[in-house]
Each structure stands twice: as C-alpha cells, then as structure tokens.
Amino acid sequence: MLDQRMFANIDWTLCVLVLMISGVGMIALSSATLGIPGKEDYLIQQVYRIVAGIGVIILTQFIHYRHWARFGFLMHILVIVLLVLVLLYGTGGPGSPVQRWLKVGPFFFQPSEFSKFTLVLALAHHFRDFEQPKGNWLWMIWPLALMAVPVVLIIKQPDLGTALLLLIVFIPIIFLMGIRLKTIIIIGLLSLASLPVIWMFVLKSYQKGRILTFLNPERDPLGSGYHIIQSKIAIGSGGVFGKGFGEGTQGQLNFLPAHHTDFIFAVFSEEWGFVGAMLVLLLFLILTLWSLAEVLKAKNRVSAILITGIVAIIISHVLINIGMTTGLMPVVGVPLPFFSYGGSSMLSMMFGIGLLLNIRMRRFEKK
C-alpha cells in the first residue's frame, strides 16, 4: 500500500537524473540511426521502451522492497528456466552464432538482462538475517549456486559480458556480508588457477580473438580489431567540442559497427566531443554517488544489499561499456544503461531504478 508520506518521500533527484540520461541517450540514438533504413522505427520503439520503463518504475512502488526480495528466489528460478529455454529455442538473429533472445509474438526478450537483478533480490533475501559462521565454508555454497547456475547458462549462449557482470555484482554483496580476507585470497587464487581451463574449454574462438585483439588491436585491423580501432578513431576525432549533431563520420558512414547499441558512446563522443562525453560520465557519477549514499542510511540489511547490488550493476555496465569503446577492455557486448538501443536492457534497468526509489520512499519506516 502507498500513503501520502511515501509520495512525499519520492526521490525526485534520482528521477530527474534517470530522465536526463535517457534524454541524452535519445539524442545520441537519433543521430546514430540517421543512416539506418527505417530510423524512425528505432526512435519510436526506444520512446515506447522508456515510457514502458517509467510504467515499470511506478508499478514497482506498489510492492514493498522486502516483498520483492522475498519473492526474489522464485523470480531467479524463473529466469534460470528462461535461460534454459534460450539455449533450447532461443535466437540471435539471421546468421548469428549466438542464442540470447526468446521470441514472444512480435517481441524479443533477453532473460539474461534480468538475471542480474533477480540475483540481487535472491541474495538480499538469503542474507537478510545472516551471521557468518566461524571456520565454516558451507555458508558460501548456496550464494555461489545462485550466481554460478545463470553464469554457466549465459556463457553457453555465449554471452561472456553478462556472465562477467553477474560475477562483478556478486563480489560487493559478499564484501558487504563481511567475508574474511583469507576467504577472498583463496577464492582469488582459485579463480586465477581456473583461467587456463576457461581459455581452453569455455571461451569460443571469437571470444579469444577479442581478448588477443584487446592486447593488440592492430593484429587484425579488418577483423576482430575493427570495432576497437573505429571506436577509438570516432572518440579521438571528436576533439573538445565534437563535430556536431549528425556530423560524425565513423557513425554516419557506418564505419563503426553496432553504433546504435554497444558503441553508441563512441558516436556521441565524436559528435559532442570531450565536453559531451564528460557530461555523460558526470551524470552517471552523480547517479552512482547519490544512490550509494543511501547505503549509509539503510535501516536493514535487505535494503543495503539491494542498493549495493543495483548500483554495482549500473556502474559496472558503464565502466565496461566505456572501457570497450575506448580500448581499455575487450569487446564483450555490454550496453550503456539508458543509452543503448534495446528493450530488455532498458526495462531491467528501470526495474532496478524502481527498487531504489522503493527503498527511498520507505525511509521513514523504523525498521
């Protein structure tokens, strides 16, 4: 139930930040799709997704965040079932070697985008009254299983970027639970020891190529290194103030692949320059710091875990996406939140923002 106090406690600053980022994203998308046939459809669909996302935010408020966490495990199981269905019946588009989407009527749905948020909900409920036992590792088995099962299924699609994000989201939540330094060191050593196995038996040939290309993009400038090289050219050629709306050469002349999805930041940087790029980063930084400030005010463990997990999802998306476009990270296909074209990404991110607002609205509660 909602009452007047909750409406009085709506975090309008967070709402404005999300709308501002989405608005700048629409400007970037409108330019990135200028050279694409049927560009109006892309813009209209993205507007629909933003409106639907706002609807998701509103609907999220009607259920207490503790209840969202309580049903988090069931939601996580549902997403895992959908991930299995993706492997059996999923699609990646004509001629695509990947299987990441389920087709439901005229719509395409990507369950992996929601797995990050259901993982956070499931962990929040699991750790709600948690006390770490001394000298006992068994407490880690269930949280690891909640994280590992979707990671394995997502890697099979294959989607290394989203699998990596689940691992990244898992780490700060475990830190929040007070995991001991000895345990962290052991997990780190085991992870390092598993790298050769992952390289030989898990990674696909194109994923290995992306990692090698990250180390030296010039080794294959017309193949696996093409994305990074063109993206760096776009960002570098933007200068301080950019070339102007719709005047970028790399995006408008289609030199830059996926310029309306994973590499939209490069298109925006080329046209709006260093100043525009810094504006986007500043908006994301304010969004992150504003949300993290709530962790210090959290009145219970569930809200603290939810805020930590959701902020980790958003900031890791931003860092990985911009790291990809600037050549600081391998290309792993991670979208820029509220910017990149895509329905599942937009709706899942709006759901996360809805949970943050949900917690903020109920800050007057005693527990």
Percent of the chain with pLDDT over 70: 92
What's the confidence (pLDDT) of residue 205?
78
What's the confidence (pLDDT) of residue 76?
98
Are the C-beta atoms of 113 and 125 separated by less than 8 Å?
Answer: no
Name the β-bridge partners of 321: none
What's the confidence (pLDDT) of residue 97?
66
What's the confidence (pLDDT) of residue 321?
96
As a dihedral over the C-alpha atoms of residue 280, residue 284, residue 289, residue 295, rounded to 10 degrees, the angle is 170
Q: What would the DSSP string read from start to end of 300-337?
A: SHHHHHHHHHHHHHHHHHHHHHHHHHTTSS-----PPT
Q: Band the pLDDT of 206: cuts 50, 70, 90.
A: confident
What's the confidence (pLDDT) of residue 3?
61
The string of pLDDT tens digits covering residues 244-302 is 998 888 877 778 887 888 999 999 999 999 999 999 999 999 999 999 988 888 888 99
Q: Band the pLDDT of 225: cuts 50, 70, 90.
A: confident
pLDDT at 2 over 60: no
Which residues have CB under 8 Å from 45's CB, separation 6+? 341, 343
What's the confidence (pLDDT) of residue 85?
96
pTM of structure = 0.92
What's the confidence (pLDDT) of residue 158?
85
Highest mean pLDDT among 34-48, 89-103, 347-361: 347-361
Are the C-beta atoms of 248 and 268 separated by less than 8 Å?
Answer: no
Q: What is the average pLDDT value for the chain, to the nearest integer? A: 87
Q: Band the pLDDT of 93: cuts 50, 70, 90.
A: low
pLDDT at 87 over 60: yes
Task: State CA 126 to chain mean position distance.
Answer: 22
Least confident of 67-71, 127-131, 243-247, 348-352: 127-131
- Surface-to-core class of residue 295, CB atoms within 10 Å of its CB (0-12 exposed, 13-18 middle, 19+ buried): middle
Higher pLDDT, 167 or 35: 167
The string of pLDDT tens digits covering residues 67-85 is 999 999 999 999 999 999 9
pLDDT at 311 over 60: yes
Which residues have CB under 8 Å from 21's CB, separation 6+? 280, 283, 284, 287, 337, 338, 339
Name the β-bridge partners of 101: 91
Domain boundary assignment for the chain? 4-361
What's the confidence (pLDDT) of residue 251?
78
Burial 195-223 (b: 16+ CB within 10 A, else e): eeeeeeebbeeebebbbebbeebeeeeee
Where helices occur in 156-263 by DSSP H, the ranges are: 160-176, 181-197, 205-215, 226-237, 249-252
- Computed on alpha carbons and rounded to an integer, the radius of gyration of the chain in Å comes to 21
Q: How far apart are the C-alpha atoms of 324 and 112, rounded to whole Å?
A: 20
Q: How far apart are the C-alpha atoms of 81 and 112, rounded to whole Å?
A: 11
Q: How far apart are the C-alpha atoms of 329 and 174, rounded to whole Å?
A: 25
